[in-house]
A and B are shown apart, each in its own frame.
Chain A
C-alpha cells in the first residue's frame, strides 16, 4: 500500500521537476520586477537599473539585500519569500545587462568625522537628497518626472539602503558619481578625508532613521448615520464637497453602468468628486493610486436608516509602501471626514 503511495508520489513529482532546475533570472525578473523597473531595467515607477554607472559601483550583495529587504516606505517592496538561489538568479540577470562585474563587498567601516560630514552634506548633497537624507519626492516617469530624468534622488536615511550599502560603496559613489544621472562625482572637489566625513555622516542616519512605524489597522470603510433622507443626504454631500473645493464629477446609483438604465437599485447612490490640484499632486507621489479615484462617498438607505460610507484612504495606503502617500492619505481622510460632518450636520 505504502509502496503504491510512493509510486503515486513519484508521478506527482514529474510536473514539478522543472522547479528543481536552477532558477531562471530573466523569468523571475519579468515576474517580480519588470512591472516597476521596466522589462529591460530602464525604469518606470521604479528606478532604472540598467545603468553602467550604477551596476559598476554596487556589489551583488547590495542588490541581493535590496531585493530581500526593499526600501521601507519608499515603494520598493521586500521579497522575503524568494529563495537565495532565486535572488542570486535575479542579480545575475541584472548584471547581464552591462556585463560589468560589481566590486567586492568590502564591509570595512570608514572612520570619518560625521560632524564635519554634516556640514559638507548640507553644502553638497542636501539639495538633492534632502537635509536628513530623505531623498527626492515622487516616483515614476508617468507623472513625477519625464523619461529623460532617469532617477529620483534616493533616500540615504532609509533603513533598507543603509543595511544594503557598505561604507565603501557610499564613498565610491560620492567619489565617482553616477554618469547618466544627476549624481555628480566629487573626487576632484573634495579631499579623501572630506568624503570619508560625508560617508560617516550618511552612515549616522542609521542612528536616527525612523523605524517601521507599526500602526494599528485602520477600518477599511468609514460609516456615519445621516439624519436626512437619501435625496437630501446626497444633496448635502454634493454641497459639502463643493464647499471643500472639490468639483462634483457625478452622482449616480451604485449600479450605474452595470444594469440597464432605470433598473438600478434606487437606494444606493454614490457621489464622485475631485480636486484636480490634489489629484495631480497625489499622482506625482505614486502613479498607481487609481484605486482611490475619483474621491467617492456613497449614500445608502436601508430600512429607514440612511448611512454615508467611504473607503478609508489610510487603510489602502499601506498597500503602496510609500511614506509620502501615507501622509497624503492622512490629509485625504481628514477632507472626507469634514465633508461627512458637514453633510450630516
Chain B
C-alpha cells in the first residue's frame, strides 16, 4: 500500500516536471520528431533520374508497364537513336516516351493554355554500358512558374508518380 502511494507520488512528481517542461516549450517533442525525419535526397531535385540494371529492351518494357500501372497512357515513343543512325550519326539506343492522362491533359490545357507545350510529360531512356538510364524533369519544377494552388497540387501528384515509376525501373520490375 505504502509502495503504491509512493509510486503515485512519484508519478505525480514526474507529471509535474513534464507539465513544467510543457509550459516552457510545449511543442518540443514535435520539433524533435520533425528533426528526425529523413532529409530530402537533394536540395535541388529538379531532374529525377534512375539507373536500371536491366538492358535497354527490358528497361523500356518495365518503364512502359509502370507508366500504364500508374494509370497513364503512353502517347508515343520518339526513337531518337533511329533518327540519328539514319542521318549517319552513331548512337546507342535512345528513346523519349511521352505519356499522360488524356482527360487530365484536356482539362488542364483548357484552363491553363500556357501548359500546352509542356504536355504530355516525358521520360528519356537510354542505354549505357549494358545498363539503362531514365531521366525526367521533376513535375514540381513547374510549380516555380505556375503557382495556382490546383496546379501545384497536381504537379506534386505527378512528382510522386514519376518517382514511383523511376523506382520501378530502378528495381527492374513494374509489378512489385
Q: Is A44 an interface residue (CB 8 A)?
A: yes
Instruction: Determine if B43 and A288 form an interchain contact, defined as CB atoms under 8 angstroms apart.
Output: no
Q: Is A276 an interface residue (CB 8 A)?
A: yes
Q: Is B15 an interface residue (CB 8 A)?
A: yes
- Closest Cβ–Cβ distance, residue A33 to chain B (whole Å): 10
Q: Is B9 an interface residue (CB 8 A)?
A: no
Give A259 to B102 CA distance when docked, in angstroms: 7
Note all chain A residues with C-beta closer than 8 A to B158.
Answer: none
- Closest Cβ–Cβ distance, residue B165 to chain A (whole Å): 14
Instruction: Determine if B51 and A290 form an interchain contact, defined as CB atoms under 8 angstroms apart.
Output: no
Instruction: Determine if B33 and A35 form an interchain contact, defined as CB atoms under 8 angstroms apart.
Output: no
Query: Which of B44, B91, B122, B129 meets A291, CB within 8 Å?
Result: B122
Interface residues of A in 1-40 (CB under 8 A from B): 2-3, 5-6, 9, 12-13, 16, 19-20, 31-32, 34-36, 38-39
Give A142 to B130 CA distance when docked, in angstroms: 11
Residues of B near any A CB (own CB < 8 A):
15, 18-19, 22, 26, 29-30, 33, 36-44, 46-47, 49-51, 53, 73-76, 78, 80, 83-84, 87-89, 91-92, 94-96, 98, 100, 102, 105-106, 109, 113-120, 122-129, 131, 133, 135-137, 141-142, 144-145
Please report whether the interface of chain B is mostly helix, strand, loop or mixed according to DSSP. mixed
Note all chain B residues with C-beta closer than 8 A to A170.
Answer: none
Best-surrounded residue of A19, A293, A300, A310 (most CB of chain B within 10 A):
A293
Please report whether the interface of chain A is mostly helix, strand, loop or mixed according to DSSP. mixed
Instruction: Determine if B80 and A254 form an interchain contact, defined as CB atoms under 8 angstroms apart.
Output: no
- Residue of B at shortest CB range from A280? B89
29 contacts between A and B (CB under 8 A): A3-B15, A6-B29, A13-B36, A16-B38, A32-B41, A34-B51, A35-B50, A39-B131, A45-B128, A142-B128, A147-B129, A221-B118, A255-B102, A257-B74, A258-B100, A258-B105, A259-B102, A274-B83, A276-B83, A276-B89, A279-B89, A280-B91, A283-B94, A287-B126, A288-B49, A288-B135, A291-B122, A298-B117, A320-B47
- Closest Cβ–Cβ distance, residue B137 to chain A (whole Å): 5
Interface size on A, residues (CB 8 A): 75
Instruction: Determine if B109 and A268 form an interchain contact, defined as CB atoms under 8 angstroms apart.
Output: yes
Given known pairs A34-B51, A77-B44, A255-B105, the reply for A290 and B94 (CB within 8 Å) is yes
